[in-house]
Amino acid sequence: MRLIRVISLFAIIRGAHAKQNCPLYGLGYPNPTNLLAQAGIQTVRTLLDSAFTENIDNANQTGSERFSYSVEVFSADEEEPLWSHHWTAPNLKTLNSTGVSEVDGDTVYRLGSVTKIFTILTFLAEAGDSMWNEPITKYIPEIKALVTTGVDNSHSISTPDWDAITIGALASQMSGLARDSSIGFPILGKEEIPPCGNRPVCTRTQFFEGISKLSPSFSSFATPAYSDIGYTLLALALEQMTGKYFGTMVQDKIIKPLGLNHTFYTTPKDSLGIIPGGRYLTNWAFNMGNESPTGNMYTSPSDLSRLGRAILRSSLLPPAMTRRWLKPVTFSSDPRSAVGMPWGVRQLPLSNDSPYQFATTFNKAGSLGKYSVFFAVIPDFNIGFSILAAGDVPAGLATSIADSLSNTYLPTIVNTARIQANQVYGGTYKNSDAAVNSSLSIVVDRQAPGLSLSSWISNGTNMMWYSVALSQNVTRDYWNKIRPSTRLYPTGLWDATSDGGKRVAFKAVFEDLSLASISQPFTTDCSTWVTVSGIMYGSKPLDQFIFNINAAGNVTSVENGALRNRLDKVV
Ligand SMILES: *[C@@H]1O[C@H](CO)[C@@H](O)[C@H](O)[C@H]1NC(C)=O
Ligand SMILES: *[C@@H]1O[C@H](CO)[C@@H](O)[C@H](O)[C@H]1NC(C)=O
Ligand SMILES: *[C@@H]1O[C@H](CO)[C@@H](O)[C@H](O)[C@H]1NC(C)=O
Ligand SMILES: *[C@@H]1O[C@H](CO)[C@@H](O)[C@H](O)[C@H]1NC(C)=O
Ligand SMILES: *[C@@H]1O[C@H](CO)[C@@H](O)[C@H](O)[C@H]1NC(C)=O
Ligand SMILES: *[C@@H]1O[C@H](CO)[C@@H](O)[C@H](O)[C@H]1NC(C)=O
Ligand SMILES: *[C@@H]1O[C@H](CO)[C@@H](O)[C@H](O)[C@H]1NC(C)=O
């Protein structure tokens, strides 16, 4: 009885929905280029100008008379922001501020925990990521001294298992250490008024004294748990590795090479910043000393966008290291979100119909005193946002601005990417010898990801059906039921050619959309990555398509690896 129910349930699921295309992760379209010139991007600019003015700046209930903010949307493909917006709180005039009287792209804000992005990038640029799995006891003598040989602390409630806490655990918030140490450390985000100017922050000795009394929240690598202490330790470990002061490394490895003239490790001149009140009252001038790598830094909207472009372009790191960095380290409780270094990672849906089409964003929020900041990079589309606010900033302002930007920009960018991909790759390709019945046609449609093959014939064989049949080993009578879908995704691989053009490789995914949409414990209709290069012929994969592009940037022909043929573009 039970079995029959399961079987009939199975039948219902099979009949219920058609299968959705399952793209390769993170490779939907070639990155769109020349964005500022695109009509869609220009429309969004105008729309956002009025939406922000009406709904935030001049709206009655937003409290906008008491906060200033700056927003930039940037692309790695453009030096100019795609959009920027600045609002100065009307009440700034009444605050006797020692800072700027009006905010713009060069105005310096405090970053709070967005500093952690600079901290990780400094670490990667100085030392790389090869020691992620090394224990911190190797690099921090004071921590080494806390380890008693022969005592098993692997599950101790009171004593962290220091030898099991790695450099990578600190970077990815997987150390299990507490959030903040008990002495002297200001709780970030609280509007706590420091009792004096540079109030006494912990010395190194005091910091480790605090650490020695600290019990762990969890074992390392059990669950992500945000820890500011972890980032202080990370920087101390780097200082030990390099023998250099952390602030100097930030300056030499990031600020100088990127020309970030409005970015500071310690408090800059008041005249550069937005200071909505007293310079201590707002926390503008509060110096976190030893604990600076976790939240002390300052930057401007334009510099934050420069940083974002440098991350996306991998200007400071080898590209493979950036690709490793822009990946999650662990899941979190929300299935659509994960945790990286120091990123919050989220999957942003790109389709109402398909759970398999999304962009991944790597973001970080920060707040300190009167400052609130949000930063995101979306490598799938080579864009990002920087949002900085100062004053009586409503809780959630920065994230709701980020929500609006992603709701506006993602559909626009996907659309732009489709239009451009269609212009470059769309059309019909044929064998130069008309007697040979070989051709294919490419279109980019709105429903599904990647470039679609609308027909594909090789020497009289209908490859649309044949490729699916080969991948699935179907019987002859199933042949007519197949709904073949062949879609091409960019691989990021290309070679320059001697005539100034290039060869660009795409990967095809062969799918049968007549199959059921299915999501069971282990049975899934989306595991494309497992089948990549599944069909080989003479050591060349059938799913490899290489486009030849001339020096003028126009596609001239396409080659298939396994079929060893070249089809010239005719339309
Ligand atoms: C905002 O407040 C002003 C002054 O109280 C009022 O005249 C105006 O109608 C209000 N605007 C909106 C959109 O509620
Ligand atoms: C600003 O300065 C004026 C003149 O010194 C003073 O009357 C006023 O109270 C000050 N305002 C604030 C917010 O400190
Ligand atoms: C920063 O300042 C240096 C020296 O004045 C200048 O060469 C550089 O262009 C500036 N960087 C930016 C991004 O403006
Ligand atoms: C096409 O197929 C025919 C018949 O199988 C074969 O003789 C011919 O060599 C093939 N042509 C090419 C270009 O592969
Ligand atoms: C080319 O091959 C396809 C697929 O087998 C076939 O439908 C079509 O009629 C052929 N065209 C010519 C001109 O032979
Ligand atoms: C394909 O299926 C047939 C029967 O349907 C079977 O005999 C054959 O071994 C299968 N081939 C592969 C490679 O799985
Ligand atoms: C490239 O393509 C564009 C648009 O189709 C066309 O206007 C241009 O003449 C082409 N250039 C070359 C060198 O083929």
Test site for ligand 4: of 438, 457, 459, most ligand atoms within 8 A of the Cβ:
459
Ligand at shortest distance from the CA of 455? 5
Test site for ligand 3: of 261, 300, 304, most ligand atoms within 8 A of the Cβ:
261
Which residues are near ligand 4 (CB < 6 Å)? 436, 459
- From the number of C-beta atoms within 10 Å of its C-beta (0-12, 13-18, 19+), residue 495 rates as exposed
Test site for ligand 5: of 433, 436, 437, most ligand atoms within 8 A of the Cβ:
437
Contact between 364 and 117 under an 8 Å Cβ cutoff? The reply is yes
**Which residue, judged by its Cα, is nearest atom 13 of ligand 2?**
95
Ligand at shortest distance from the CA of 423? 7
* 554 CA → ligand 7 middle, Å: 6
Contact between 551 and 560 under an 8 Å Cβ cutoff? The reply is no
- Exposed e or buried b per residue across 73-86, where buried means at least 16 C-beta atoms within 10 angstroms of its C-beta: bbbbbbeebbbbbb
**Which residue, judged by its Cα, is nearest atom 6 of ligand 7?**
554
Residue 357's alpha-carbon distances to 23, 199, 353, 417, 506, in angstroms, are: 7, 50, 9, 14, 18
Extract the runs of DSSP E, i.e. beta strands, from 270-382.
298-299, 330-331, 337-339, 344-349, 358-368, 371-378
Contact between 190 and 372 under an 8 Å Cβ cutoff? The reply is no
- Which atom number of ligand 7 is nearest to the Cα of residue 553? 1
pTM, full prediction = 0.91
So what CATH class is 35-417? alpha beta
- Exposed e or buried b per residue across 35-69, where buried means at least 16 C-beta atoms within 10 angstroms of its C-beta: beebebbeebbeebeeebeeebbeeeeebbebbbb
Classify 167 as helix, strand or coil. helix
The token pair at 443 is 């279109």
- Which atom number of ligand 5 is nearest to the Cα of residue 461? 5
* 220 CA → ligand 6 middle, Å: 48
What is the domain partition of the chain in residue ranges?
A: 2-19+427-569, 35-417
Tens place of pLDDT for every residue, the chain, 571 residues?
233 333 333 333 334 478 899 999 988 899 999 999 999 999 999 999 999 999 999 998 899 999 999 999 999 999 999 999 999 999 999 999 999 999 999 999 999 999 999 999 999 999 999 999 999 999 999 999 999 989 999 999 999 999 999 999 999 999 999 887 644 444 444 434 333 334 556 788 888 988 898 899 999 999 999 999 999 999 999 999 999 999 999 999 999 999 999 999 999 999 999 999 999 999 999 999 889 999 999 999 999 999 999 999 999 999 999 999 999 999 999 999 999 999 999 999 998 888 999 999 999 999 999 999 999 999 999 999 999 999 999 999 999 999 999 999 999 999 999 999 999 999 999 999 999 999 999 999 888 899 999 999 999 999 999 898 887 777 778 888 899 999 999 999 999 999 999 999 999 999 999 988 998 999 999 998 998 887 887 788 899 999 999 999 999 999 998 888 899 999 7
**Which residue, judged by its Cα, is nearest atom 1 of ligand 6?**
473
- Which atom number of ligand 3 is nearest to the Cα of residue 302? 13
**Which residue, judged by its Cα, is nearest atom 4 of ligand 6?**
475
Quickly count: other Cβ atoms within 10 Å of residue 470's Cβ: 15
User: Quick check: CB of 473 below 6 Å from ligand 2?
Assistant: no
- Please name the helix (run of DSSP H) or strand (run of DSSP E) that holds residue 228, with its range, or none: helix 228-242
Contact between 399 and 8 under an 8 Å Cβ cutoff? The reply is no
Which residues are near ligand 7 (CB < 6 Å)? 552, 554
- Which atom number of ligand 6 is nearest to the Cα of residue 473? 1
- Which atom number of ligand 6 is nearest to the Cα of residue 475? 5
Q: Which residues face 67 on adjacent strands?
A: 391
- The identity of residue 3, as a single letter, is L
